[in-house]
Amino acid sequence: MIGYCFRCHRGLTDTDSVLRGMGPICAGKVIELSQSAGITDKVDLPFDIDKMDIICRREEDGLHFNINQVFRHHSPTGMEWGYVGSGPADFALNIVELFMREYPDMPCVEIWDKQLVTMQGWRLHQPFKDQFVAKLPREGGVIKGDVIRSWVAKERKSQKR
């Protein structure tokens, strides 16, 4: 497990922060941004740190995820799936950045509100959205972590050419 915040890229030492992928300051900012935007998405689905499957589900009480929306750039209303748009773009960005943690010391680029994302994650999130997130059924689904990991590795390799 990599011990740095995937929002600000500072080192993490606390076990809970490492598991969350963010320190307490960044986690607080993420919660504050979501609340101020009126986003009611719930992060209450199981996340297996080894498999890293991404799960989303639409229920009567709203959208449910197994990952936090750490990065907000495209959509003021939160993450979504099942179409090509701003909500799916933010969902894709958060998924790809989660998998970029496996490649430490990557160069970063600043996006909206001084958030730092990896340059490769920024380049890959739109193609990832088109190939995976936009194709999820309206009710939700699972994107397997091993499929994501393989896709990211292949795309990173092809970008180096």
Tell me which amino acid residue 37 is.
A
Partnered with residue 43 across adjacent β-strands are: 65
Task: Let me know: does 104 contact 6? Beta carbons within 8 Å.
Answer: no
- What confidence category does residue 23 fall into, taking pLDDT thresholds of 50, 70 and 90? confident
Per domain, the residue ranges of the chain are: 42-159
Q: Indicate the SS3 state at residue 24.
A: helix
Quick one: tokens of 157?
């390799």
- What confidence category does residue 1 fall into, taking pLDDT thresholds of 50, 70 and 90? very low
Question: Structure pTM?
Answer: 0.84
Partnered with residue 58 across adjacent β-strands are: 63
- What confidence category does residue 36 fall into, taking pLDDT thresholds of 50, 70 and 90? confident
Task: Let me know: does 84 contact 130? Beta carbons within 8 Å.
Answer: yes
Q: pLDDT value at position 133?
A: 98
More confident residue, 4 or 86: 86
Helix (H) or strand (E) holding 157: helix 145-159
- What confidence category does residue 117 fall into, taking pLDDT thresholds of 50, 70 and 90? confident
Count of helices and strands (H, E) across the chain: 5, 6
